[in-house]
Amino acid sequence: MQRRLCFVLSLLFLWVLEEGGVRAQAPKAFREAVGNERTTILESLLAVLFPGTEVRWVPNVVLYGAGGEDRPVEFAGFTYRGRPDGGWEGATGYEVGSGKEEYIFYASRFRAAGGQQFPTPFVLFKAHADGRISEFKKFILDRSDPVSQIKAFELQEWPSGGWPVVRVQYVSYYQKAESFTGIEWQTLFDSGEGRITERLPAGIVQKLKDGRESIHVFVVERISPSQLHFIDSVSKKAVEYPCADPCIVDGPKLLQEWSSQ
């Protein structure tokens, strides 16, 4: 069985400081571009995620807390859809502050200290028809992953009285003295259990300190009940990776196997 995984254009711009998330030039322009319905949900989400703070658009999304401290917020992969009862359900990542974005920018240019870690939070939610949040559940995507960024969510069937499985597309970053590497993943996350149940690589982008860069877009094949085959769709380079189904591929192990070929 052959499975071709989507490899989004975001990886091609891995080395550029991303604007990312939901941003705007001015509050009015933001609501016109994104829509009042969406911005109402976003503001309602921030109110339940960070009680006691004030949301402003100045022009980007900023949280104001006690003492007037301002913290920029970006939403990653924000998606929502209608419910049969007239309300809404959806998912989004959220990043508060600019520490992770700045780290990725400087690390990709070999100007950041190694060993840094940044959690990747996201939230699933239900909202009333007017956008007010009725239920929500927070998660950390993968605590073993030191640095990652969510790109997109795909909601599966939402069970009555429970929480759904979601497909998460995200990038993990790995910094070494002579290289900076991103792996893009297609992942299933069981929000009822609060854990990743499947993770397969869509591709790898690597930048070396000497300036060389490489991009590998994967075709994934299962060649036996205990073995996967990752094939570069351009160069046809391939590696075998031992993993039962469902498989959770380990990033550092994949990079080691790929570089050894």
Distance, CA of 146 to CA of 242 (rounded, Å): 23
User: Hey, is 37 helix, strand or coil?
Assistant: helix
Q: What residues pair up with 76 in beta bridges, in sequence order?
A: 93
Q: pLDDT of 102-138, one tens digit each? A: 999 999 999 988 889 999 999 999 999 999 999 999 9
In this structure, are residues 209 and 114 in contact, taking their beta carbons and an 8 Å threshold? no
Model confidence at 251: pLDDT above 50: yes
Model confidence at 24: pLDDT above 80: no
Phi-psi region of 132 (alpha: psi -120 to 50; beta: other; left: phi over 0): beta
Distances in Å between the Cα of 155 and the Cα atoms of 6, 81, 82, 134 are 16, 9, 12, 18
In this structure, are residues 57 and 30 in contact, taking their beta carbons and an 8 Å threshold? yes
Model confidence at 15: pLDDT above 50: no
Q: pLDDT of 128-182, one tens digit each? A: 999 999 999 999 999 999 999 999 999 999 999 999 999 999 999 999 999 999 9
Closest CA to 164 of 142, 141, 191, 186: 191
Taking residues 199-228, report their average pLDDT: 96
Q: pLDDT of 45-58, one tens digit each? A: 999 999 988 888 77
Model confidence at 13: pLDDT above 60: no
Q: How many CB atoms lie within 10 A of CB 12?
A: 12
Cis, bond preceding 246 (omega within 30 deg of 0):
yes
The amino acid that residue 63 corresponds to is L
Per-residue pLDDT, 3: 40
Chain center to CA of 253: 21
Phi-psi region of 49 (alpha: psi -120 to 50; beta: other; left: phi over 0): alpha
Side-chain-facing half-sphere of 239: CA atoms under 13 Å? 17
Model confidence at 6: pLDDT above 50: no
Q: pLDDT of 70-97, one tens digit each? A: 888 999 999 999 999 999 999 999 999 9
Per-residue pLDDT, 18: 37
Q: pLDDT of 225-240, one tens digit each? A: 999 999 999 999 999 9
What is the DSSP track for 86-115?
Answer: S-EEEEEEEEESSHHHHHHHHHTTT-S-SS
Distances in Å between the Cα of 231 and the Cα atoms of 236, 239, 261 are 6, 7, 12
> What share of the chain in percent tops pLDDT 70?
85
**Who's near 157: CB < 8 A, 6+ residues apart?**
164
The larger pLDDT score, comparing residue 31 to residue 57, is at: 57
